[in-house]
Amino acid sequence: MMAHSVVLFSPWFGPWPEWINLHMESIRYNPGITWIFPTDQPPPENAPPNCQFLSMSLQDFVDRAAEVSGLDLTANSAYKICDYRPMIGEMFEPTLTSCTHFGYTDLDVIYGDLSVELSSERLASYDVISSHAALQSGHMSLFKNTKKLRRAFRTVPGWRKDIASPDHTGFDERRFGRWIPNKWWRLFPRYRVLWSEWYSTPEGHYNWIDDVPQHPSEWVWKDGVLRNTADGDRQFAYLHFMNWRSGQYRRDGAAAPWQNLDHILHTDWQTACANGFTISPLGIHALSARI
């Protein structure tokens, strides 16, 4: 990705989760990408050089979205800020002057080598990239840094209604996400859209590689490389463990296994970062303790 400069936004408000220093370590191994965290928290202990932390409150973030949208906004919960993701390019436009691509991601993620999916060829060939084949992913979407794409949310019919609602509506993945490839892209065909499945989210509503219904339940991170115990030597760009920490979007409707754990992280972060670690429904363990 040397020919491209990528900035990923990851807003977070409230205490950092247990796994934050492992999240930071996985970022460290992707030095060609910059992460920007609008947050009300101090930088984590293990924050790497390619992370920036923009100090602001949740209300500051909402106020910035209100200024960009021209709407009077209220957020009933921090989850509402997911609806503002399509506005991030305009909300933080001054920070994007030197990058070729910008996007957004999540914190319930451990990254492998992102160049597995974000190759120079893909970044050069596409203007919109999603890590899911069926929707504009809320946990990994990238856009070419152009004025039209920074303002693409304004082309979506009814965008003001979704943004103005104080409750989460799923605007980023639903109305905005469906408009990008199905409507807006066809009106402006010079924009090239790639929706491809990165197989990042176990227990999501899709089959796994080769249409296998079973999803891998144990993942291994070591020295910036992410694999799982079901897919051999195949590397993955990242693991999104949303469905282990919350049952809201699980395909089986079951409770999330991490909700029954006293602790998710069963090791100190220094040992896990040095030796590698596993992520599974049983939590996060130092590699030597599990394999």
What CATH number does residue 172 fall under? 3.90.550.10
pLDDT for 262-275, tens place per residue?
A: 999 999 999 999 99
36 falls within a domain: yes
What's the whole-number mean pLDDT along residues 10-24?
98
Label residue 236 exposed, middle or buried (CB < 10 Å: 0-12, 13-18, 19+): buried
Greatest Cα-to-Cα distance within the chain, rounded to the nearest angstrom: 54
14 falls within a domain: yes
Count structural domains, the chain.
1
Q: Are 280 and 219 in contact (CB under 8 A)?
A: yes
1 falls within a domain: no
pLDDT for 206-258, tens place per residue?
A: 899 999 888 999 999 999 999 999 999 999 999 999 999 976 767 777 888 99
The CA–CA distances, whole Å, from 125 to 48, 99, 129, 179 equal: 29, 16, 10, 20
Band (pLDDT 50/70/90 cuts) for residue 191 is low
189 falls within a domain: yes
Q: Residue 90 — φ and ψ, nearest 5°? A: -85, -35
Instruction: Give the distance from CA 210 to its chain's centroid.
Output: 24
169 falls within a domain: yes
Residue 208: partners with Cβ closer than 8 Å, 6 or more residues away? 199, 214, 215, 216, 230
What's the whole-number mean pLDDT along residues 9-30?
98
Q: Side chain identity at 63, as an amino acid letter?
A: D
Q: Are 144 and 6 in contact (CB under 8 A)?
A: no
pTM: 0.93
105 falls within a domain: yes
Which residues form the domain of 172? 6-290
104 falls within a domain: yes
Measured in residues, the chain has a length of 291
Q: Which long-range contacts (CB under 8 A, 24 or more apart) does 93-99 make?
A: 93/150, 95/7, 95/36, 95/52, 96/7, 96/145, 96/150, 98/5, 99/5, 99/6, 99/7, 99/34, 99/145
Residue 64 has pLDDT above 70, yes or no: yes
264 falls within a domain: yes
